[in-house]
Amino acid sequence: MPLIDVRDLSKVFEVPEREPGLRAAAKSLVRRKTRDVRAVGDVSFEVEAGEIVGFLGPNGAGKTTTLKMLSGLLHPTSGELSVLGHEPSKRERDYLSRITLVMGNRNQLQWDLPALDSFELTRAIYRLREAPFLEQRDELIELLDLGDLVNKPVRNLSLGERMKAEIANSLLHRPSVLFLDEPTIGLDVVMQRRIRTFLAEYNTRHDASIMLTSHYMADIEALCERVIVIHEGSLLFDGALGDLSDRFAAHKTLVVTLGEAADLSGYGEVVEASPTQVTLRIPRGDTAAVTGRLLAEQPVTDLTVEDPPIDDVIELAFASGDS
Amino acid sequence: MTTGAIDDGLHESGLRAFLRLYATLFRLAIIEQFQYRAANYFYMIGMITEPVIYLVVWSTIADARGGEVGGFTAGTFAAYYIVWTLVRNMNIVFTPFGWEQRIREGQLSSQLVRPLHPIHYDLGFFAGWKVVVIVMWLPLATVLSLIFKPELNPTVAQMGAFFVAIWGAYLIRSLLLWMLGMVTFWTTRVSAAFEVFFAAELLLSGRLVPVRLMPDWAQQVAGVLPFESTFGFPITALVGPISNEELVEGLLTQAFWILFGVAGVSFMWRRAVRNYTAVSG
Amino acid sequence: MTFLRIGVMNELQYRANFFLQIIQSVVAVGTGLIVLALIFSQTDALDGWTRPQLLAVLGVFTMVGGVIGFIIEPNMGRVMADVRQGTFDYVLTKPVDSQLLVSVREFRLWKLTDVIVGAGVVVWAVIVDDAPTGLANVAGFAVSLLAGSLMIYCVWLMLTTGAFWFVRMEMLQELFTGLYRAGQYPVGVYPGWLRAGLTFLIPIGFAVTVPSEAVTGRLTIGRLAVAVGFVLFLMALTRIVWQWGVKNYSGASA
């Protein structure tokens, strides 16, 4: 049985409807009109132990709603959901003790006290024995490079430092499933990279599964072999990050280095050209044929085949969801 | 709440962890609130105006009537309203107005993904704060006593009952206001209801005036409501006049309201969470 | 027509605030009336004040509380917030008198409910009071109410100026709100040291008691003159303190 098993998961919200105008405002005093909004519809996927899965989608696609259902904060409207053999919405102690949810910009640490004090509180909440708690705590402090920062009041830490302490606090109970919603939001590049390496390290050390949403593609590229793309509540893609471009990018880019100048406009769309280097855009399916012809007919000294940048591919994927 | 420990070497038994939880919350609250001692003092001085006004008004009336109103003299009024200041501090718990923010800013979500009923945070934290408050209250009480010369001769039984009763009052009020605050889960237009609740509490708890000075019918209404257990009873337990039977009766009444509060909070909490997990976006 | 429509729409938006404020005013005045009933079930006069006279005090107390909530507290709170967040610089860069500007930036319209409810209580008190109320009383009431409100504004602004030096001054507001409760009763009830403090240090005594005396015919022209003189003195003092504070603020932030 997979660690996370999601089948036909849907969530529908009832939202109050407010029409513009005076009469509508007065009417809403008496009876409020509501309208159903489908945040997530018929999503199915499975996640195995030790996998890191990137969860992609534009704002409002249903990423956070799905993570909240997985962590037991929201009841699904329909569908089946099982994590670690538990039904998350029952919020059993045993279940909550084995997962964690980290949301960027959310603060769980005591603002006026050093993080170490909050760690003690977390220890009491999760009923951790002293020896394993200290071991885990010191390991996290070391891996996250927190050092002396844990002795300073949290209010005196920078945003990035606070996020690192926040992450440490969320992992003291050694969860085997991590739900991370924009854990690097608002952090500078160095700090983002630091958190990325840490997550990879934590994943290998504890064989923990991680589901991660992020606006920064660098996070996804560095961490996730597999991505799930959702758009307007529906699943668009589930597979290896590399396959994403096969599926959504209709073109590939050829960078051809030439021994002498030549006109390559017959082979594909010329995107960029200098006397010795030409960049061509060609339909994905023609890649093999065009490269074969180029090598046979032109003075090629070097040739590379590239997928378009991942950001562009994601944009194409979302666009395909719109149509 | 389940106490079954997971036998995996990582977790400890429920009871030990539970005690540790309260000890930790207590300690954190003391350290944190001690940092804010100046703010706490300003707050307490502002708060003390209220009983001083009541005390001055009722002492004036007692003097005008030849020294006594409904069994109270200027000295016993002084005792009543000085003990009042401590009981008032024991009554400060998480405000029902805070729930909206808790829900809106996601603190509640953070608490819900942790394996602990969130009421323990509030109970432990505010109880720890009380320790700071009591330490800071002592000099203020001394000053007030020097000015207003209270008549206070409690028996040992009264002192014992008082000590228990102020914590009983704390617990009852925490539970009541939690129930009140949880109404926020169903409707956000709750402020008006809160205002009415606080007005009723002010009048019928013994905060504004000792319940004994109220008309009979008002005393009867107060008798069936929990407010007196949170305010008037602890004060009267120390100030008197009160018999040992009445002390026991008062403590048993508090026990009843605690049970009522625990039942009410767990009943409402279950429904509140169900409601929250159905709609929170 | 459009203006009216938008006005009504805005009011519907604020209806929750107004509704809440009406409940608050009614609850507060109701509580005050119950206390008066309790007091006068035990005695005929409190420090020489009869029931209708104390009713007038309650009315004035509610009115002045409304004025504070309507304009004084929101503006003073904003100054403290500005100083804390560093946005006070914007105030100083505007080509208007800074003291005037910081005093009239924010209004909580619905707090005027308190002024109306309080005025109603004052009118009621005048009707049930036996003593005749003439034009002189009304004039004295108006003058002393204005003077009292100005006094509270002055003291509050001087305290607020303290925010230029101590950032956590918002606790002083808590303190002030607590002390204002003392205005529910005529200042003569309080023991001497407290009466002096409530008259000259935090002039709640003047602000509430003097207008109440005016409307119930207890006010002498001499006392009114003292009140007016005191408010002029306070306004001059506030001006000096404010300018000194602003100078100090610029010096500190440069």
Here the ipTM equals 0.84
Looking at the complex, does the CB of residue C168 fall below 8 Å from at least one CB of chain A? Answer: no
Closest Cα in chain A to C7: A22
Residue B265 lies in a domain: yes
Q: Which residues of C touch A29 (CB under 8 A)?
A: 12, 15
A253 vs A323, more confident: A253
Q: Which residues of B touch A68 (CB under 8 A)?
A: 109, 280
Q: Is A100 helix (H, G, I), strand (E, B) or coil?
A: strand
Distance CA A94, CA B4 (A): 9
Closest CA to C63 of C119, C20, C15: C119
Percent of chain B whose predicted confidence (pLDDT) is above 90:
69
Q: Measure A2 CA to nearest chain C CA, in Å.
A: 51
**Per-residue pLDDT reduced to its tens digit, A22-77:** 666 666 555 666 788 888 999 999 999 999 999 988 888 889 899 999 999 999 99
The C residues from 60 to 99 touching B (CB cutoff 8 Å) are: none
Mean pLDDT of B115-141: 93
| Contacts across the B-C interface (CB distance below 8 Å) | 82
CA-CA distances (angstroms) from residue B186 to A57, B182, B189? 31, 8, 9
Identify which of C221, C207, C220 has the alpha carbon closest to the alpha carbon of residue C151.
Answer: C207
In DSSP notation, A261-283 reads ----TTTSEEEEE-SSEEEEEEE
Give the pLDDT band (50/70/90) at residue C153. Answer: very high
The Cα–Cα gap between B96 and A4 comes to 38
Rounded to the nearest integer, the mean pLDDT of chain C is 84
Q: Where in chain A is the domain with CATH 3.30.70.1150?
A: 250-306
- Per CATH, the number for A250-306 is 3.30.70.1150
Cβ atoms of residues C61 and C121 within 8 Å: no
Chain A contact probe: residue of B40, B277, B280 with most A CBs at under 10 A = B277
The superfamily CATH assigns to domain A4-245 is P-loop containing nucleotide triphosphate hydrolases (3.40.50.300)
β A209-213/A226-231 pair status = unpaired
What is the mean pLDDT of the segment spanning A125-149?
93
Please give, rounded to a whole number of angstroms, the shortest distance from the CA of A25 to a CA of chain C. 8
Instruction: Name residue A17's beta-bridge partners.
Output: A33
Query: Is residue A176 less than 8 Å (CB to CB) from chain B?
Result: no
What pTM did the predictor assign? 0.85
Cβ B199–C178 below 8 Å, yes or no? Answer: no
Residue B4, in any domain of the structure: no
- pLDDT score at A28: 57
CB-based contact, A29 to chain B, within 8 Å: no
Q: Residue C131: which domain range?
A: 2-253
With beta carbons less than 8 A apart as the criterion, state whether C229 and C200 touch: no
Q: List, for residues B28-63, the tens digit of each pLDDT value.
A: 999 988 888 877 887 888 888 889 999 999 999 998
pLDDT of residue C254: 39
Q: Is B271's pLDDT higher than 80?
A: yes
Q: Do B61 and C175 touch (CB under 8 A)?
A: no
Residue B5 pLDDT greater than 50, yes or no:
no
Q: Report residue B1's pLDDT band, with 50, 70 and 90 as the boundaries.
A: very low
Tokens of B231: 């305010």
- In chain A, the residue whose alpha carbon lies closest to the alpha carbon of C9 is A22
Chain mean pLDDT for chain A: 88
pLDDT for residue C1 is more than 70: no
Picking from A73, A124, A129, the nearest residue to B10 by CB comes out as: A129
Say yes or no for a CB contact (<8 Å) between C41 and B45: no
The one-letter amino acid code at A301 reads: T
pLDDT of residue B281: 45
Residue of A nearest to C5 (CA): A22
| Residue B9 forms part of a structural domain | no
Whether B227 is covered by a domain: the verdict is: yes
- Cα-flanking dihedrals φ and ψ of residue A283, to 5°? -60, 140
pLDDT digits (tens, 9 = 90+) for C69-120: 999 988 988 888 888 777 888 888 888 889 999 998 888 888 888 999 999 9
Does the pLDDT value for residue B226 go beyond 90? yes
Q: Is C14 helix (H, G, I), strand (E, B) or coil?
A: helix
- pLDDT tier for residue B164 given thresholds of 50, 70 and 90: very high
Interfacial B residues in 71-110 facing A (CB < 8 Å) = 106, 109-110
Is A114's pLDDT higher than 70?
Answer: yes
Determine contact, residues B115/B188, Cβ cutoff 8 Å: no
Nearest-angstrom CA–CA distance, B72 and B59: 9
Q: Hey, is the C-beta of C5 within 8 angstroms of any chain A C-beta? A: yes
Q: Which amino acid appears at position B60 of this protein?
A: T
**Inter-residue contact B226 to B172 (CB < 8 Å):** yes
At A236 the three-state DSSP class reads: strand
Residues in chain C: 254
- The tokens describing B239, both together, are 């100030």
Query: How many Cβ contacts (< 8 angstroms) between chains A and C?
Result: 9
Label residue A21 by pLDDT band (50, 70, 90). low
- Sheet of A78-83: strand order equals A33-47, A4-17, A78-83
Q: How confident is the model at residue A271 (pLDDT cuts 50, 70, 90)?
A: confident
User: What does residue A225 show for φ and ψ, rounded to 5 degrees?
Assistant: -80, -25
Structure tokens that stand for B49 in this block: 């105006």
CA C225 to chain centre: 20
Tokens representing residue A100 in the block:
């964690």
Asked if C16 is an interface residue toward chain A (Cβ–Cβ < 8 A), one would say no
Residues 2-61 of A with CB under 8 A from C: 22, 25-26, 29
Kindly determine whether residue A127 and residue B28, on different chains, have CB atoms separated by under 8 Å: no
Give start-end residues of each CATH 3.40.50.300 domain in chain A: 4-245
Report residue B140 as tokens.
């203020």
Q: Could you tell me the two tokens for B234?
A: 């602890």
pLDDT tens digits, C181-234:
888 889 888 888 888 888 888 888 888 999 998 888 888 888 889 989 999 999
What is the number of CB-based contacts under 8 A between chain A and chain B? Answer: 97
Burial of A171 (0-12, 13-18, 19+ CB in 10 A): buried
Sequence-separated (6 or more) residues with CB below 8 Å from residue B271: none
Q: How many domains in chain B?
A: 1
Span A267-284, mean pLDDT?
86
From the number of C-beta atoms within 10 Å of its C-beta (0-12, 13-18, 19+), residue A30 rates as exposed
Q: How far is C198 from chain B (nearest CA, A)?
A: 11
User: Looking at residue B2, what is its pLDDT?
Assistant: 42
Q: Do B109 and A68 touch (CB under 8 A)?
A: yes
Residues of B in contact with C191 (CB under 8 A): 56, 147
The length of chain A in residues reads: 323
By C-alpha distance, which of A216, A280, A221, A269 is closest to A245?
Answer: A221
Widest CA span of chain C, in angstroms? 63
Give me the residues paired with residue B46 across strands.
Answer: none
Mean pLDDT for chain B overall:
90
